[in-house]
Amino acid sequence: DVKVTQSSRYLVKRTGEKVFLECVQDMDHENMFWYRQDPGLGLRLIYFSYDVKMKEKGDIPEGYSVSREKKERFSLILESASTNQTSMYLCASALRGGSAFFGQGTRLTVV
Amino acid sequence: GENVEQHPSTLSVQEGDSAVIKCTYSDSASNYFPWYKQELGKRPQLIIDIRSNVGEKKDQRIAVTLNKTAKHFSLHITETQPEDSAVYFCAASKDNAGNMLTFGGGTRLMVKP
C-alpha cells in the first residue's frame, strides 16, 4: 500500500516566519507534488518535482519554494508566511505514468 | 492552461438514489480524468479514472463517462449509501497519467439515510 506521509497534521505559525512542510513517500515514486486546498477552489498545484533536485512551478508558486534532495522526500517552504497562505496543504506522489496518491494533509494557520 | 469546472458544488440525495456529478474541461489535449473521494478529515483517494480512448468505465456502483467532443465527463454513483457522503473532486491532465492534475472545485455529496 502506498504511503505518503506529511510531517504535521496541524501547524500554527506567525506572519513572517519561515515554514517548512515535509512529505515522505515510501514507494520509490519519481514524481512528487504540493497542492493547496481551499473551499470552492479544489486543489491547486504549487510545485512539482519529477526527479531529485528537479522542480517545476505549478499554477500558484508565488510565495513558495521547494526542495528535493532525496527521492523520497519533498519539502515545501514558505519563506515568509502570510495570512493568505492559511490553507490545507496536500502532498502527493506518483510513478511516471501512474496515478497520484495523497498524503493526509497539513492544515496551516498563519496568524 | 487547463480549466476544470465542476457542478454541483453540493448535492443531497436520499439513500438508494443515484448521484451524478459533472465536470467540463477546456484543453482538448487533456487525456486522463481521475475522480477522487475525500472523506471528512482524510486524504483524497482515487476511486476511478478514465483515459481519452475510452467512453465509459464502471466499477461496481460507480461509473464514469467521457464525451471528448463536448469536453465533459461525469461521475455516476448508483444505489447511494451513507458512506458515500464525502467531497468528490474531478481532475484532468495531459500526460495520460496522474501528473500535473488540474482539479475541479469539488462536490460535497450528502446521502441521507
Q: Is the pLDDT of residue B86 over 70?
A: yes
Nearest to B9 among A40, A99, A103 (CB): A40
- pLDDT at position B47: 96
Residue B45 touches chain A, beta carbons under 8 Å: yes
Q: Which of A102, A104, A107 to mutate to test the interface with B (most CBs of B within 10 A)?
A: A102
Tens digit of pLDDT for each residue in B27-61?
Answer: 999 999 999 999 998 999 999 999 988 899 999 99
Q: Do B46 and A99 touch (CB under 8 A)?
A: yes
- pLDDT at position A39: 87
Nearest to B89 among A43, A94, A99 (CB): A43
Angstroms from B45 CA to nearest CA on chain A: 7
Residue B97 touches chain A, beta carbons under 8 Å: yes
pLDDT interval class at B96 (50, 70, 90) = low
- pLDDT at position B98: 63
**Which ranges of chain A have pLDDT less than 50?**
none
- pLDDT at position A2: 64
- pLDDT at position B35: 96
Q: Is the pLDDT of residue B1 over 90?
A: no
Q: Is the pLDDT of residue B95 over 80?
A: no
Q: Is the pLDDT of residue B97 over 80?
A: no
Q: What percent of chain B has pLDDT over 90?
A: 84
Residue B108 touches chain A, beta carbons under 8 Å: no
Nearest to B34 among A48, A99, A104 (CB): A99
- pLDDT at position B100: 81
- pLDDT at position B45: 94
- pLDDT at position A95: 85
Q: DSSP string of chain B?
A: ---EEEE-SEEEEETTS-EEEEEEES-TT--EEEEEEE-TTS--EEEEEEETT-SEEEETTEEEEEETTTTEEEEEE-S--GGG-EEEEEEEBSSSSSSS-EE---EEEEEE-
